[in-house]
Structure 1
Amino acid sequence: MTTAKRIRKAVFPVAGFGTRVLPATKSIPKEMLTVVDKPVIQYVVDEAREAGIEHFIFVTGRNKAVIEDYFDAQYELYSTLAERGKTALLDELQSIQPGPGTTSFTRQQVPMGLGHAVWCARDIVGDEPFALLLPDMIMQPEKNGCLADMVELYNQAGGGNIVAVQECDPEEAHKYGIVGKGKDVGNGFELTEMVEKPAKGTAPSNLYINGRYILQPEIFDILEHQERGAGNEIQLTDGMLKLAKQQDFFGYHFQGRTYDTGSKEGFVEANVAFALWRNDIRNGVIDNIGNMLKTIQPRKV
């Protein structure tokens, strides 16, 4: 079996406007909206760190400087916490801060789609495979983190490209990017096809792409010359379809729950779900939700 290059770098496309959750994102990046007590982007970075990622690459846009500030050291805050004896909180904050030289930020000056955002990271990624994590999507795994298991599959397969998928209602398959499933490989399977929003009744499966990828650097050359597709944007799926003609693609079937925090419903669901995951606040949340379900009725407009 071929020894694959190690996955050291991860790309986080954070340049989007967050239009689905306006007006909250008018002045606050959607990635900095909090789920319980952490911004959305922290959950995704934690998942990448768990998978062994060493270099975190953020593709940003205008009004996203707060993300860079968030991952920087805040000496005044640290000093105040130390003086007040809040050592547990100080240790927690310092533990999630990336080390010096492990974060990079680059701009996507024009919103031209996910494929273009990925291409903007080309010089920082260089000639090596990389992980791609869509920060809208945060996950509650049944066991290991999604990306950690994808890296395991990548090593089992000796390289290639990995796409994480999970099941959706077959009646909803036309809303997603759907994959076809081939023979099993390690803890995943070969991909036989990828279809973006297939017409109703034509989907090859009900396995949808959930926002986690491991890609080879050849994707950058493809994206550089990629014509605009749906929405007049450079689509990552179009680029992956071309790459699939040259390289192997594998699917990893994620076991767990995924929440789309870029939608209002998904954001609320994520807050409830992650609150219920917390032993320190779970019981109080359950009681409060029960009381609200009994007493709060839909508002009459």
Structure 2
Amino acid sequence: MSKRVRTAVFPVAGLGTRFLPATKAMPKEMLTVVDRPLIQYAVDEAREAGIEHFVFVTGRNKGVIEDHFDRQFELETTLEARGKTEALDELRKDLPSAGHSSFTRQQEPLGLGHAVWCAREIVGNNPFALLLPDMIFRAQPGVLRQMIDAYEDEQNGGNVIGVEECAWEDVSSYGVVVRGEGPDTGFTINGMVEKPKREEAPSNLFISGRYILQPEIFNLLADQAKGAGGEIQLTDAMQVLMQEQRFTGVKYEGKVFDCGSKLGFLTANVLFALDRDDIRDGFIKELRNLDFGDQL
């Protein structure tokens, strides 16, 4: 039987260059979709999936992320004194329990594979989930919950990758998988291809920033040569591990928004606002009052 996945790793050391100047002094992971930071969406998804230990791989100028997941006694005291119990309860609900968060530094920007490797001593010899905070999802249940359900199926286990279908004309923008046998809820992955030409793409199922990985990936990353962009690529190590262990794909129910891009970020803000009972009606009214002229 597969070991239970209790730990999640969140790589949050990136420079956020696509959102400059907004991210000059503020981590991109703290950009908000409506009123919640991107990193909070990822943590919420992990908690829903039963994750107990949250490991953040940070870098310089990322201290505000650690502060976000800590108590702020002055703020809490002020809210309590003013009777704002709903806001206070919301803040406390978002916090991981004491001792359930760890922070480690990626001291050089050497890529996603290197960031994952930096978490090796904390994760230890255990399977772990990997969530890229730039990618947030509209999904119920959450994408990681759907993946863990597939992982805990005795016929699957091993390593699991969440995938979503894209238009064939867009496959050259993504890493896509080579689909083997099995249903959408858990099929064999026989390979991965990074940004293939449309006519060479093995599928239109793209990798969307959610993984469950076995600890053997750390040994591979330790010796991994630099790949594309002069960085240590996680995909390269997964391709090697695939020769030894099973990789399962889960075509989850839901939709991803790449909030590392301006277009994905803006789209997510609109759709997540429309999902909110407390602001939906007012937001729709404001949208209808706007004069877009010939822009749409």
Q: TM-score, normalised by structure 2?
A: 0.97
1:153–1:186 contact (8 Å) kept in structure 2? no
Structure 1 segment 94-173 matched on structure 2, within 5 A: 94-141=92-139, 143-156=140-153, 157-173=155-171
Instruction: Pick one of 205, 226, 229 that aligns with 2:227.
Output: 229
Runs of at least 4 residues off by over 2 Å: 294-298
CA distance in 1, matches of 2:31, 2:263: 14
Instruction: Pick one of 195, 203, 206 that aligns with 2:204.
Output: 206
CA distance in 2, matches of 1:259, 1:285: 20
CA distance in 2, matches of 1:185, 1:171: 24
CA shift for structure 1 position 185 = 5.6
Instruction: Pick one of 41, 57, 68 that aligns with 1:70.
Output: 68
2:164–2:252 contact (8 Å) kept in structure 1? yes
- Secondary structure of the residue that 1:280 maps to in structure 2? coil
Structure 1 segment 52-63 matched on structure 2, within 5 A: 52-63=50-61
Q: How many residue pairs are counted as aligned between the two chains? A: 294
2:184–2:252 contact (8 Å) kept in structure 1? no
The question of 1:269 aligning with 2:267 is answered: yes
CA shift for structure 1 position 7 = 0.3
- Note the aligned Cα RMSD (angstroms): 1.2
CA shift for structure 1 position 296 = 5.6
Q: TM-score, normalised by structure 1?
A: 0.95
CA distance in 1, matches of 2:184, 2:107: 40
Instruction: Pick one of 17, 35, 38 that aligns with 2:36.
Output: 38
1:113–1:234 contact (8 Å) kept in structure 2? yes
1:60–1:108 contact (8 Å) kept in structure 2? yes
1:162–1:213 contact (8 Å) kept in structure 2? yes
CA shift for structure 1 position 297 = 6.1
2:185–2:249 contact (8 Å) kept in structure 1? no
Q: Which moved more, 1:260-269 or 1:114-123?
A: 260-269
Please name the residue that 2:17 is paired with: 19
CA distance in 2, matches of 1:158, 1:253: 14
CA distance in 2, matches of 1:43, 1:281: 18
Please name the residue that 1:286 is paired with: 284
Structure 2 spans left out of the alignment, 5+ residues: none
- Secondary structure of the residue that 2:200 maps to in structure 1? coil
